[in-house]
Amino acid sequence: WDYILYVNDWLGGDSDHESRYLILDILGQGTFGQVVKCQNITTHEIVAVKVVKNKPAYYNQSMMEVTILDMLNKQLDPDDVHHILRMRDHFVHKGHLCLVFELLSSNLYELIKQNSFQGLSTQLVKVFTAQLLDALMVLKDARLIHCDLKPENILLRSLQSPQIKVIDFGSACHERQTVYTYIQSRFYRSPEVLLGCSYNCSIDMWSLGCIAIELFLGLPIFPGTSEYNQVSRIVEMLGDPPNYMIERGKQAANFFEAAGVDDQGRSVFRLKTIEQYSREHNKQEQPGKKYFQYTHLPDIIKNAPLPPSRSSSTRRQEELEKEMHNRMAFIDFCQGLLQLDPLKRWTPQQAKMHPFITGEKFVKPYQQQQLMDQAISVSPPLQGIMPSPASSK
Ligand code: ATP
Ligand code: MG
Ligand code: MG
């Protein structure tokens, strides 16, 4: 860190007319810089100021954050109802770009931690997930990708109410300008990004699936210790990605190898073993810690510890039945978000109609086709990641 901020220091633009901010507290730190709690001495508003590192790459990337937030705030969510952080101001202080935000409270990682990593109630997971879907719907309509959705980047508005906001648009980009290939925090990184395929807004839906499960369980579902470990955890739980992703992904050959053809003449790929990957990359891969007793997602969710209750035994029985019903809906919901194939993964619009979110009775099998039909009528066709005729046959 190239610049130390102290409580009682001032931040302000280099020109005289700009607002000045008194630093009251240090709030957080990230890759891009420090976040401090400040008071605007003109309006007296208490705000959060992100002071970006004094390096051209960070400056330019953070100007992008300003542009995107400005558009989101003014054009796409003018009434501040879609759970997206508000930006109040920005200025340059001694070469550091400073972004002034509304002051929010703890992030969701801190909330999970405060809860001793026991997980939140199904009801609370639903409330937070619905709000995140709302934000992602706005992003998708504008074809913006957040690219770094994770619990640290989701903040409670206050400690009194279960209201959240999505923050940190410092990695966000437009679907037409997906220039970076090394994006998303590893635990929340989508299969298409891991494999080096082209990507779009659906990478945020993958992250959302990982986050919803983490909120419920209290621990990350795919805590990969390396890229290989991340891919192997996903494959172990959810199976192999479709052939077209392996054939087209620029990184896929690092992780998968050809293993012949099936009886219909289609290529078969398999994940390289840890020994093979280690040998080829000249580094010793570790299998990484296993957090859960079960391998498959439905078993993990079904068997998660039940919340404590002080109800009488008949009441308790009713509660348990309701909880198991909600868990079945939750499993189905998560499977829609954790589709390995981005073309099959649900959009925010589709996910919002799921009984887990709407509260309707969940009846198996879920009418996914109906969701698909609606999606085709609302979203433009995806480009770039469509399977080629050869690989989809
Ligand atoms: P990353 O390493 O995730 O890219 P970053 O450097 O881009 O992080 P932010 O994520 O914007 O920075 O902020 C870092 C941390 O500061 C957040 O996780 C949060 O705890 C805190 N923070 C950010 N904005 C606010 C805010 N508006 N109100 C309160 N705390 C905030
Ligand atoms: Mg962040
Ligand atoms: Mg960031």
Q: Residue 68 Cα, ligand 3 centroid: separation in angstroms? A: 13
148 as an active site residue: the answer is yes
111 Rama sector, left if φ>0, alpha if ψ -120 to 50, beta otherwise: alpha
Angle separating helix axes 202-217 and 313-337, nearest 10 degrees: 160
pTM of the model: 0.92
Calculated CA dihedral for residues 177, 183, 188, 189, nearest 10 degrees: 80
pLDDT of residue 392: 36
Residue 105 to residue 386: CA distance in whole angstroms = 41
Q: Quick one: which atom of ligand 1 is closest to the CA of 103?
A: 28
ipTM for the whole predicted complex goes beyond 0.95: yes
**Residues within a 6 A CB radius of ligand 1:** 27-28, 30-33, 35, 48, 50, 101-104, 107, 148, 152-153, 155, 167-168, 170
DSSP code at position 202: H
State the Cα–Cα distance between residues 231 and 107, nearest whole angstrom: 27
Of 2-16, 55-69, 238-252, where does mean pLDDT reach its minimum?
Answer: 2-16
* Token couple for 123: 């009801």
Residue keyed to tokens 């109609």: 353
Least confident of 15-29, 138-152, 217-231, 249-263: 15-29
pLDDT at 371 over 60: no
Exposed, middle or buried, 265 (CB in 10 Å: 0-12/13-18/19+)?
exposed
- As a whole number of angstroms, the distance between CA 226 and CA 197 comes to 18
Q: How far is CA 261 from CA 40, 111, 115, 269, 271, in A?
A: 66, 48, 49, 9, 15
Q: Is the pLDDT of residue 385 over 70?
A: no
DSSP-H helix ranges across 142-269: 191-195, 202-217, 227-238, 243-248, 252-255
Residue 151 C-alpha to ligand 2 middle, in angstroms?
9
For the stretch 66-88, pLDDT in tens is 999 999 999 999 999 999 999 99
Q: Could you report the per-residue pLDDT of 85-129, keeping only the tens digit for each?
A: 999 999 999 999 999 999 999 999 999 999 999 999 999 999 999
The arithmetic mean of pLDDT across residues 185-199, rounded, is 98
The residue-averaged pLDDT of 130-141 equals: 98
Instruction: Name the catalytic one among 148, 168, 204, 332.
Output: 148
Give the phi and the psi of residue 56 in degrees, each rounded to 5. -50, -45
Q: How many CA atoms lie within 13 Å of 125's alpha carbon, on the beta-carbon side?
A: 27
From atom 8 of ligand 1, which residue's Cα is the shortest distance away? 30
Question: From the CA of 34, how far away is ligand 1's center (Å)?
Answer: 8
